Structure 1
């Protein structure tokens, strides 16, 4: 009984209480025991691990996670267990001690497994967030997305996506605080630049970069315009463009709203309509944090102690996979289907 009370005291939040409720009564006397995944209901499993039980094996295989994982300290686990540890760690602000109760492993083993799978996914699929030359971004798919944006009344006739930057707050570092302090948001943080497509996917991500940097500087350093020049130009010379906020400079591939103290009525209508559609970028940023709330707990985002940027990148890849499997608010709004899982992760 005393051990049960100690375990209850160590768990925080509804998700952790759900984990405790899934434990067998005859095993409660042992703090370190493995979670019986087969005994979880579909609803419980999706609450804890964000994906359906029937899809987790296919996701593990599509991500290229091996059946057997051997960490640097020779800790061994299955690929499914490693992926579940990664997702559970990112899904909620858990302590390693809390995960030890769940997976029946020591905190050191949990840490090694988590970081090994994190590095594995980022090394295999991280380039997909940096490169627009991907099979699922063919000109036929771009035409479909342009048509969907136009169907929603967009006055910009060649828009295939929306670009924006986001600041992810971090714990205040002990050194070089001025580099990561964002004066606009009044927080220490890292910045990321994303292009969201009408099917709810994040087609491109640049970052992390210092929190003090301006969106226009991120655009220049990302080189995404050069990529669009090569891959987003039709044979007849017409281009596909993305729409951004007033922070971005005007170019053939990135279109900001009309600026100035005095603009015409048509320009005002253009700005209003495109702004209403550009909000889908915020929906995507919100979905990442909804699925992986660990990223929104800045006290545990320690710049020089943890790969904070890698956390967000891998969570973005997993969010794209979640969108492919279960859809998104953005895809429903524009009525566009995302690519298949094997097509995106190929």
Structure 2
């Protein structure tokens, strides 16, 4: 029966599929609210298979010999458990992925790829995920720019191809700065993203590592953005913007990796926010994308020549 699970091509190595349920601390036996029983391997494999394709549950049912209701409940149970258990990895993992030593390594990798400054450690942006029109609070979920109902997430892409921060979901109508303020990310950066050996007397440019975002984010000691505004920009400013834009584009590749690997996340007609944990689907998709990168470095990691952590280094509490 488990031969079929290998059609979830994201996990092309059976030994990885075998070890991940234990590394992710899934319980050995899983019982859904309706009483369907699964081993942790079966439930995790079904979750990967479900996120891999937008196919109807009936097709998965015929392939994996489980009822559609059982598969749905198993997937929702695993997704909820993984999000609850590992959400701290997306906050500010200052003892692991975002340790001061790693921030220095990321800043050096970005500088070596062409950035004009040595302080940028990651790229912040928001992504808008389309959902089915909800039957309640439709105006809050509607994104006027994209012209559809959506959930919104804030993320930070690192040069090693990992998502170092993920915040959301929020209603699709919210703007980027609302999420930035609500996440308290800059406050955490002020506390943790500090150059080793610096002090309160150090100049700001030598005290903090910095995120880079688009012009809407503005500028602070912990975050910088391109030169913008109504005034004409100098040649040096235009060149600075062009160079930073060329390295920042990798954050778009990172978002693309999530949805190209876990194509169920693109099925907006299946994303019913009041009947399924839609926000958790995307968060777990990002978690699994990070995990895949630990096994096989993705194009972002290769572009910056910056190695991701091992799977055991990443999955820590």
* Interval of TM-score (by shorter of Structure 1 and Structure 2): over 0.9
* Bigger radius of gyration: 1
Task: Show the 5 A alignment for 1:313-324.
Answer: 313-324=283-294
Determine if the alignment matches structure 1 residue 309 to structure 2 residue 279.
yes
Residue 326, structure 1, aligned to residue 296, structure 2? yes
Q: Distance in 1 between matches of 2:9 and 2:298?
A: 19
Farther off after superposition, 131-140 or 95-104: 131-140
**How big is the shift at 1:133?**
2.4
1:236 lines up with 2:198 in the alignment? yes
Preserved CA contact (<8 Å) 1:128 1:134? no
Displacement, 1:73? 2.5
- Give the conservation status (yes or no) of the 8 Å contact 1:68–1:77: yes
1:224 to 178, 185, 208: 185
> Which of 59, 63, 76 does residue 20 from structure 2 map onto?
59
Q: Does 1:120 align with 2:89?
A: no
Aligned-partner SS, 2:125: strand
Per-residue displacement from partner, 1:118-175 (whole Å, max 9, x unpaired)? 1111111022112332323222211111111111110122001000001001111122
The match for 1:133 is 94
Q: What is residue 283 of structure 1 aligned with on the other side?
A: 253
**Residues 33-52 of structure 1 aligned to structure 2 (within 5 Å):** 35-37=1-3, 45=6, 47-52=8-13
Give TM-score scaled by structure 2 length. 0.93
After superposition, the C-alpha distances for 1:230-279 in whole angstroms (9 at most, x for unaligned) are: 11012314111010011112111111111123111111111111011111
Match of 1:247 in 2: 216
Matched, 1:111 2:75: no
SS of 1:135's partner is: coil
Number of aligned residue pairs = 307
Paired residue for 2:137? 176
Corresponding residue SS for 2:164: strand
In 1, distance between residues paired with 2:12 and 2:183? 31
Conserved? CA contact 2:94–2:100, under 8 Å: no
State how far apart, in whole Å, the 2-side matches of 1:52 and 1:139 are.
Answer: 33
2:225 is the counterpart of 1:256: yes
Mapped contact 1:324–1:338 kept (Cα < 8 A): yes
Larger relative CO (CA 8 A, sep 6+): 1 or 2? 2
Q: 1:124 to 1:118 in 2, by over 3 A?
A: same
Q: Using the alignment, how far apart are the partners of 1:285 and 1:264 within structure 2? A: 32
Residue 9 of structure 1 corresponds to none
Q: 1:49 to 1:323 in 2, by over 3 A?
A: closer
Q: Shift in Å at residue 218 of structure 1?
A: 1.0
Q: Secondary structure at the match of 1:189?
A: strand
Q: CA deviation at 1:74?
A: 2.6
> TM-score, normalising length from structure 1?
0.85
Q: Which residue of 1 aligns with 2:204?
A: none
What does residue 243 of structure 2 align with? 273
What is residue 341 of structure 1 aligned with on the other side? 311
**Alpha-carbon separation, structure 1, partners of 2:282 and 2:69:** 22
Q: Indicate yes or no: 2:159 matched with 1:198.
A: yes
Q: 1:146 aligns with which of 92, 107, 111?
A: 107
Query: How far did residue 75 of structure 1 move?
Result: 1.8
SS of the aligned residue for 2:154 comes to strand
